[in-house]
């Protein structure tokens, strides 16, 4: 009985705080994406020959984000029947966009006009002990900033 | 020293190719951070302690790579790549590698 109460409390906490955190994060992502839209992040390898940067510098941005208890429970249920894990999709989406934003922010501080050859690297941070408890992802975005 | 993840440097010629250089660092998190992360796993959200930890150790990997490049006499490292792997539970390896070259000055 006590176990059940603890479980339901965790579920409710995860639901409310997780939703709050996610919507707040998305709002901030959208706001900053607009502000940094003037620094494009380009994935191509070879810069066009008419670009003559004064200086190039490696910029990186990384973030570790965790899912909440409710979403993890939902994902556990989803594992039984299979299908899309929407709750995890939004997690990696948030992490990627945040990492790119942090990279662009570093580029902005250094006075760059664009970021070339952007690569994204995702890894899961395991919590140990229990298996399949991948609760958080780390995303690293890196690229070469061109400073004119 | 110039560090970049492009394969060429616009406007500069590569004079000498010195091969692959690499640097890595394995870090474990401490208990305090672990505890906070456990809480965050209920509420969801960014794990700031981990972000910082990984950034620090990535910087260390880059520093080691740079040291190696300096030792072979390079003045630039091109085509840098990062990779992460978890070696054991609770520890992560951050790895950086690239091609050491001498650029025309």
Alpha carbon of B6: minimum distance to chain A alpha carbons (Å): 6
Residue B12: predicted pLDDT = 83
Query: Among partner residues A46, A64, A142, which is closest to B46 by beta-carbon distance?
Result: A64
Query: What's the pTM?
Result: 0.84
The answer to whether the CB atoms of A56 and B40 lie below 8 A apart is: no
Domains of chain A, earliest start first: 2-147 (3.30.110.70)
A69-88 in b/e burial notation, b at 16+ Cβ within 10 A?
bbbbbbbeeeeeeeeeeebb
Q: What percent of chain A has pLDDT over 70?
A: 93
Query: Among partner residues A52, A66, A144, which is closest to B44 by beta-carbon distance?
Result: A66
Q: What percent of chain A has pLDDT over 90?
A: 32
State the pairing for strand pair A136-147/A55-66. Answer: antiparallel
Question: HEC states along chain A?
Answer: CHHHHHHHHHHHHHHHHHHHHHHHHHHHHHHHHHHCCCCCECCCCCCCCCCCCCEEEEEEEEEEEECCHHHHHHHHHHHHHCCCCHHHHHHHHHHHHHHHHHHHHHHHHCCCCEEEEEEEEEEEECCCCCCCCCCEEEEEEEEEEEEC
User: How do the domains of chain B map onto residue ranges?
Assistant: 2-103
Q: Which residues of A touch B7 (CB under 8 A)?
A: 45-46
pLDDT confidence bin for A75, thresholds 50/70/90: confident
Q: Which residues of B touch A57 (CB under 8 A)?
A: 3-4
Residue A127: predicted pLDDT = 56
Alpha carbon of A78: minimum distance to chain B alpha carbons (Å): 19
This model of the complex carries an ipTM of 0.79
φ/ψ (deg, to 5) at B10? -60, 130
Rounded to whole angstroms, how far apart are CA atoms B31 and B92? 15
Size of interface A-B (CB pairs under 8 A): 129
Of B101 and A47, the structure prediction assigns the larger pLDDT to: B101
pLDDT confidence bin for B29, thresholds 50/70/90: low
Q: Which residues of B touch A47 (CB under 8 A)?
A: 6, 10
CATH assignment of B2-103, among 3.30.110.70, 3.40.50.720, 3.40.50.10380, 3.20.20.140: 3.30.110.70
Residue A132: predicted pLDDT = 46
Tens digits of residue pLDDT in A20-70: 888 999 999 999 999 999 999 988 887 777 777 778 889 999 998 888 888
The answer to whether the CB atoms of A58 and B44 lie below 8 A apart is: no
């Amino acid at each position: 009985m006590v176990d059940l109460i603890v479980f339901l409390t965790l579920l409710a906490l995860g639901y409310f705080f997780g939703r709050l955190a996610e919507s707040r994060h998305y709002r901030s992502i959208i706001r900053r994406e607009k502000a940094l839209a003037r620094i494009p992040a380009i994935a191509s390898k070879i810069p066009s020959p008419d670009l003559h940067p004064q200086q190039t510098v490696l910029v990186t941005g990384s973030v570790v984000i965790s899912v909440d208890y409710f979403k993890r429970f939902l994902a556990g249920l989803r594992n039984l029947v299979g299908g899309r894990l929407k709750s995890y999709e939004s997690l990696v989406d948030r992490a990627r966009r945040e990492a790119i934003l942090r990279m662009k922010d570093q580029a902005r501080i250094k006075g760059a006009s664009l970021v070339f050859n952007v690569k994204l690297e995702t890894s899961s941070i395991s919590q140990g002990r229990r298996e399949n408890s991948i609760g958080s992802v780390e995303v690293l975005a890196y690229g070469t900033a061109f400073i004119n | 020293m110039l560090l970049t993840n492009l394969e060429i440097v616009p406007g500069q010629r590569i004079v000498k190719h010195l091969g692959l250089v690499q640097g890595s660092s394995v870090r474990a998190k401490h208990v305090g951070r672990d505890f906070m992360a456990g809480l965050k796993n209920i509420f969801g959200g960014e794990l700031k302690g981990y972000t910082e930890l990984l950034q620090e150790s990535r910087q260390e990997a880059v520093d080691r790579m740079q040291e190696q490049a300096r030792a072979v006499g390079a003045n630039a490292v091109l085509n840098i790549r990062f990779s992460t792997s978890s070696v054991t539970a609770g520890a992560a390896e951050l790895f950086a590698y690239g091609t050491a070259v001498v650029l025309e000055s």
